[in-house]
């Protein structure tokens, strides 16, 4: 009897060799870079125009509140309709809203009402765009390439984090903040144009009532203990991040050597995120959610070090490590969700993920300064460290987290 020859399966090509994913990646990378330039430009523009932090809070709130309220509906729409069409439409809406803000700022006498309405419409569009991210990736690459595709998306996100603030600073200092919004509008226009050529695998979804669709998405979340328990950890992370971003700058200025320390900390964090995403592209852990959650727990380190005013180099290094944990988690988590959640419910499940994660941030922004005024910054920083470390480490006790391989 003749033995059959040894045949090893050929490795799949990198997802960027797939035309549809390459177009999707290019459009997302450009819009992420444009978006990363907006926070600094918006803050400087509103403060320069009004001189009021309350006005800035109003504009930021107008962008955040519609996003939070509409995210579950965005998940339903992302599952019911073609994810590519939804993403293309929201790109065009955000192109228009950012262009309106840019024109207002370039005119020299911006209306606060117009800025607030434009940001509210952009935030609402974001609520429909965000749940489409997972279905778009899953629908454009083979199942075996999901992990590397998500890692590539995380690398694009980290590149935006690195380049966006520098781009914003250059535009603000040379031609004015309005051009940052014009540039962001252009990136959304290019992204929409590229999406017209993307081919996404369609998934048949039975038509039900809106309430039934929402409830089915929530059942998909509740039925997976590894998912909902991890979401608690992710929500704690976002709340802790808001505490650090609120109190960290003052601690750095007053006790760690000045504003330069804070700027360096943020840049090292962006580099750490990039390195974590690159590591995720090369490593596929046997227990992906468990390893990723343990990495996320490292965010407790910079919080504690800031609370005790540890030496600046130690605090900066800890923040870089923590952001590397986040960079590693992002593609690992996305891949696990795309593989385990049925395609017909993926946008809804993703929308609940975003909702619980983003909802914790306003809570951190509000409570951190109140607690710091009452007991000093150390108390809320340590409390945030205990929350994020405890919630992420506690997922080790969940059977589904340990079993998911």
Handedness of CA 242, 247, 249, 252 (dihedral sign): negative
Handedness of CA 113, 117, 122, 123 (dihedral sign): positive
The Cα–Cα gap between 376 and 221 comes to: 38
pLDDT tens-digit profile of 25-58?
999 888 888 887 777 777 777 777 777 666 777 7
Q: Tell me the CA end-to-end span of the chain in Å, nearest whole number.
A: 38
Question: Which pLDDT value is given to residue 11?
Answer: 63
Question: Which pLDDT value is given to residue 97?
Answer: 93
The Cα–Cα gap between 262 and 166 comes to: 15
Question: Which pLDDT value is given to residue 156?
Answer: 86
Alpha-carbon distances of 273 from 30, 151, 162, 211, 324, rounded to whole Å: 18, 11, 10, 38, 4
The Cα–Cα gap between 18 and 141 comes to: 7
The Cα–Cα gap between 269 and 320 comes to: 4
Q: pTM (2 decimals)?
A: 0.84
Question: Which pLDDT value is given to residue 235?
Answer: 92
Asked if 380 and 164 touch (Cβ cutoff 8 Å), the reply is: no
Low-confidence ranges of the chain (pLDDT < 50): 1-4, 6-8
3-class SS of residue 201: coil
Q: How far is CA 43 from the centre of its chain?
A: 19
Closest Cα partner for 82 from 201, 213, 190?
Answer: 201
The Cα–Cα gap between 208 and 354 comes to: 23
Backbone angles phi, psi at 303, to 5 degrees: -65, -45
């Amino acid at each position: 009897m003749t033995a059959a020859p040894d045949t090893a399966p050929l490795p799949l090509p990198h997802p960027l060799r797939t035309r549809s994913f390459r177009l999707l990646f290019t459009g997302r990378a450009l819009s992420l870079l444009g978006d990363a330039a907006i926070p600094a430009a918006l803050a400087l523009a509103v403060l320069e125009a009004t001189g009021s932090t309350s006005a800035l809070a109003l504009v930021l709130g107008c962008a955040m509140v519609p996003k939070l309220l509409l995210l579950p509906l965005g998940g339903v729409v992302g599952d019911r309709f073609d994810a590519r069409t939804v993403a293309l439409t929201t790109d065009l809406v955000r192109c228009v809203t950012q262009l309106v803000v840019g024109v207002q700022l370039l005119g020299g006498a911006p209306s606060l009402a117009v800025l607030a309405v434009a940001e509210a419409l952009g935030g609402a569009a974001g609520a429909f765009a965000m749940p489409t991210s997972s279905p778009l990736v899953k629908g454009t690459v083979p199942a075996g390439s999901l992990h590397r595709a998500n890692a590539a998306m995380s690398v694009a996100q980290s590149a935006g984090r690195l380049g966006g603030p520098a781009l914003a600073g250059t535009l603000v200092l040379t031609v004015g903040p309005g051009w940052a919004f014009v540039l962001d509008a252009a990136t959304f226009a290019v992204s929409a144009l590229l999406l017209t050529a993307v081919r996404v695998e369609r998934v048949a979804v039975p038509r039900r009532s809106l309430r039934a669709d929402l409830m089915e998405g929530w059942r998909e979340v509740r039925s997976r203990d590894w998912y909902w328990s991890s979401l608690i950890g992710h929500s704690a992370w976002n709340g802790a991040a808001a505490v650090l971003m609120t109190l960290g700058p003052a601690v750095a200025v007053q006790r760690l050597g000045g504003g330069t320390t804070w700027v360096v900390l943020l840049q090292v964090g962006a580099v750490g995120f990039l390195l974590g995403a690159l590591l995720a592209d090369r490593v596929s852990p046997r227990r992906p959610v468990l390893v990723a959650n343990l990495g996320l727990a490292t965010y407790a380190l910079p919080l504690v070090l800031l609370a005790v005013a540890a030496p600046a180099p130690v605090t900066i290094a800890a923040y870089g490590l923590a952001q590397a944990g986040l960079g590693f988690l992002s593609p690992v988590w996305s891949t696990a969700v795309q593989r385990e959640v049925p395609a017909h419910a993926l946008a809804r499940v993703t929308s609940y993920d975003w909702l619980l994660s983003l909802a914790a941030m306003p809570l951190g922004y509000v409570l951190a300064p109140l607690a710091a005024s009452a007991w000093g910054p150390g108390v809320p920083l340590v409390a945030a460290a205990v929350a994020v470390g405890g919630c992420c480490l506690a997922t080790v006790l969940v059977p589904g987290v340990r079993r998911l391989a």
